[in-house]
């Protein structure tokens, strides 16, 4: 059963119902989470922010695994023993290039299919979808500084994810055009909101809107 949590951002004032849902999807009373940054975080600034977020919902066993400058092939494999793997935010193109370089896409896909959970934030959420084209779309697009050609991502869902939606109708209209051109479906998510997929069930928390250029629906919990 595929279990995914897709978030726009990690904010400490986020939806209590979302926090409770994230905690409830773990089968273990003391779950472990392996954290993968989108690029090396030598000062652990972003890792510490993430660790504090999980601490506040009762999860203390968080481990840092680097795919970039601190990558250690001999120890990285232990991440697949964790109850969940957290994919951080950052530049989506660079993050995907690291996953490709370390041959991680197939391993992560297998991990989820074996029952492991993926938790994505921003770029990390986009990486669970079929491709990362949307990361390069719009005014606040990521820059493809690594000249990435292969945009194929994990493909764990059949929709795309647009984090950091500003709540405007203009942004939704732009996404409708994107879905029309690319013949796809997109969930637009404001910071503080998220999507939890457990098997075939998809639950929306906060201000999340489904955009497929024909109709849209939203939920605000």
Sorted by where each starts, the structural domains of the chain and their CATH numbers stand as 3-159+188-204 (3.40.50.880)
pLDDT(42) > 90: yes
Count of other CB atoms within 10 angstroms of residue 62: 21
**Residue 13, pLDDT score:** 72
**Average pLDDT in the 33-46 region?**
98
The answer to whether the beta carbons of residues 33 and 62 sit under 8 Å apart is yes
**Strand (E) positions, the chain?**
3-7, 32-36, 61-64, 84-87, 117-121, 160-162, 186-189, 194-198, 201-205, 208-211, 216-219
Q: What number of H helices and E strands is found in the chain? A: 7, 11
**Average pLDDT in the 104-125 region?**
98
| pTM for this prediction | 0.94
**Residue 93, pLDDT score:** 98
Burial degree of 174 (CB within 10 A; 0-12, 13-18, 19+): middle
d(CA 27, CA 30): 9
pLDDT class for 218, splitting at 50, 70, 90?
A: very low
Residue given tokens 């939203």 in the structure block:
218
**Residue 118, pLDDT score:** 98
Alpha helices per DSSP H over the chain: 16-24, 45-56, 73-76, 92-101, 105-113, 123-126, 169-182
pLDDT tens digit sequence for 49-87: 999 999 999 999 999 999 999 999 999 999 999 999 999
**Average pLDDT in the 136-145 region?**
94
pLDDT class for 139, splitting at 50, 70, 90?
A: confident
pLDDT class for 211, splitting at 50, 70, 90?
A: very high
Q: Are strands 194-198 and 32-36 parallel, antiparallel or unpaired?
A: unpaired
Residues with Cβ < 8 Å from 110, sequence gap 6 or more? Answer: none
**Residue 221, pLDDT score:** 45
pLDDT class for 214, splitting at 50, 70, 90?
A: low
């Amino acid at each position: 059963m595929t279990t995914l949590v897709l978030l726009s951002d990690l904010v400490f004032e986020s939806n209590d119902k979302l926090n409770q849902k994230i905690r409830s999807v773990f089968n273990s009373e003391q779950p472990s989470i392996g954290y993968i940054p989108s690029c090396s975080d030598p000062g652990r600034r972003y890792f510490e922010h993430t660790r504090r977020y999980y601490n506040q919902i009762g999860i203390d066993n968080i481990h840092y695994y680097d795919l970039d400058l601190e990558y250690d092939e001999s120890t990285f494999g232990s991440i697949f023993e964790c109850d969940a793997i957290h994919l951080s935010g950052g530049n989506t193109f660079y993050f995907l290039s690291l996953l490709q370089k370390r041959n991680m896409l197939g391993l992560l896909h297998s991990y989820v299919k074996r029952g492991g959970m993926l938790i994505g934030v921003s770029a990390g959420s986009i990486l669970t979808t079929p491709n990362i084209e949307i990361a390069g779309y719009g005014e606040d697009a990521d820059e493809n500084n690594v000249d990435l050609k292969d945009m194929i991502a994990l493909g764990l869902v059949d929709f795309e994810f647009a984090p950091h939606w500003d709540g405007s109708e203009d942004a939704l209209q732009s996404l409708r055009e994107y879905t029309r051109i690319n013949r796809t479906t997109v969930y637009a998510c404001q910071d503080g909101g998220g999507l939890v997929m457990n098997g075939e069930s998809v639950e929306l928390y906060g201000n999340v809107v489904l955009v497929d250029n024909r109709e849209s629906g939203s939920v605000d919990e």
